A = this chain, B = another copy of it.
Amino acid sequence: MNAHTLCLAILNFRDATGYEIRKLSIDGNFSYFVDASYGAIYPTLKRLLDEGLVGVRTEQQAGKPARKVYSITPAGRQALCETLSEPPAPDIFKSQFLLVAMLAEHVEPACVERAVAARIAELQGRLDALHQARAKCDHEGSNWILDYGIAVHAASLDYVKANRSALSRIAGSALPAQAAE
């Protein structure tokens, strides 16, 4: 998903600053789709403003920098709806871990095992985060995708745990004599 749609989708839920949008895209419910950086968000917000899809108000704060709070306009809502109505682009999935697993025979066993352990920890962490988010959230659509995430992560975690040793057996089997460096 591009920054354009991300901003509209978040602002559709509630008003927010650029700073908050980035946070939501990194730890909030939207982290499921994207990680966006300031360099993507601020210019996008400016563009959305020019296009009349969002509005701003500046809030002065004592002791803190002024915040520019963006909110979605009716035109923005419509644009978002139109985007959502197009047949969704296929999912994008990129996994460096799976590449390591696929080529495990060429990697030091210790390395593979480290990667697997890290993977399990990561998956477990994300699963916990999903459960926590789920417990706190009462928005139906969000819950639907949260449950989806839980189902998929659980399956993923199960698989990695169950097949950990199989991968270890493969690991390093095609390493050349690589003793002295």
Residues of A within 8 A of B (CB): 1, 5, 9, 12, 29, 32-34, 77, 80-81, 84-85, 87-108, 111, 114-115, 118-119, 122, 140-142, 144-145, 147-148, 151-152, 154-156, 158-160, 163, 166-167, 170, 176
Contacts and interface: CB of A to CB of B under 8 A. Distances in A.
B33 A103 contact: no
Given A77-B176, A91-B95, A102-B144, 16 more contacts: A1-B94, A9-B103, A12-B103, A33-B94, A34-B94, A84-B99, A88-B118, A91-B96, A92-B93, A92-B94, A92-B95, A105-B141, A147-B163, A148-B163, A152-B156, A155-B156
Contacts of A140: 104-105, 170
Contacts of A93: 32-33, 91-94
Identical copies in the complex: 2
A4 to B, nearest CB: 12
8 contacts: A5-B99, A33-B95, A80-B103, A88-B99, A88-B118, A91-B96, A147-B159, A151-B155
A29 B81 CA distance: 36
B33 A144 contact: no
Q: From DSSP, what is the main secondary structure of chain A's interface residues?
A: helix
Most buried by B among A33, A98, A141, A151: A141
